[in-house]
Amino acid sequence: MGITDGKTDQEDITYDRTDFRATTTNKQLNFLQHIMSLLEMDGRAAAVLPDNVLFDGGAGEKIRWHLLQEFSLHTILRLPTGIFYADGVKANFLFFEKKPPRTDDVPNTFEVWVYDFRTGMHFTLKQRPLRLAALADFIEAYKADDRSARKETEDGRFKRFTYEELIARDKVNLEITWPKDPVLGDADSLLPPEVIAQAIVEDLQAALAEFEAIAEALGGEVKPDVAAEEVIAEA
């Protein structure tokens, strides 16, 4: 394990665990493997993971294959950007359950439902935060009481993919997208000007805070820049 300036160097980390199916330096893939190893039989999990977990090759392909074979990965919720402190983060909710091994060599995942909550959606941490009400359509489509009653939605956001379709994809790629439905529209075109302006302000403020932190870490004296503050205020 390498430590540099108080931060762990991800490239130098390896985990040699007998309960992991693949050895990798990718923290997100190891986090997924850790959750998989902790689940008891019939245990359920919902994990927020970045997009790369769905498409990385090598260890990622092996882990996804294991997830489809020995677990029931039944739902992927594609999350919008703007809901995390790091701007532009693309992430997903993975919902899966641990199932007993099948004696007929049939995988425990026979279909995955993907809900696109990203296209045409935009949120910010302050001006337009994500609220529970925005997830009402997903909750209805999820059918927590009886998932067998699920149907593809008319707005094109909720789609079903079979195990055969998934396993045939290159490197078992689970980053599933489909042509944009005209009904969903473009994210930016749906936002009022004041929301777009506020998002720009928040991005500028976050960037300024990061630069100030860097300057302080380097031993420099941070002085308020009136001009910069005026630019942010006018934005």
pLDDT of amino acid 138 = 96
Asked whether residue 125 carries a pLDDT value surpassing 80, the answer given is: yes
Question: For 52-66, 74-88, 204-218, which range has the lowest pLDDT when averaged over its residues?
Answer: 204-218
pLDDT of amino acid 162 = 97
pLDDT of amino acid 101 = 86
Closest CA to 138 of 111, 108, 113: 113
Asked whether residue 150 carries a pLDDT value surpassing 80, the answer given is: yes
Contact 191, 171 (CB under 8 A): no
- Report the chain's mean pLDDT, rounded to a whole number: 81
